[in-house]
Amino acid sequence: MIHLSLRLALFLLVFADAAAAQAPPQQSQPDWPCRQVRVPELAVGGVWAGPPLDAAMKHWRDDAAIADLVTRLAQRRTQIDEAETLIAQFAKSAGD
What pLDDT was estimated at residue 85? 96
Contact 49, 56 (CB under 8 A): no
Query: What is residue 26's predicted lDDT score, i.e. its pLDDT?
Result: 62
Higher-confidence residue of 4 and 54: namely: 54
Whose CA is closest to 65, among 41, 38, 93, 37? 93
Structural element, H or E, at residue 39? none
Q: How far is 89 from 48, CA to CA, in rounded Å?
A: 25
Distance CA 93, CA 96 (A): 9
Per-residue pLDDT of 16-65, as tens digits, reads 666 566 666 565 677 778 888 888 888 887 888 888 888 878 888 898 99
pLDDT digit string (tens) for 66-83? 999 999 999 999 999 999
Q: Is pLDDT larger for residue 60 or for residue 86?
A: 86
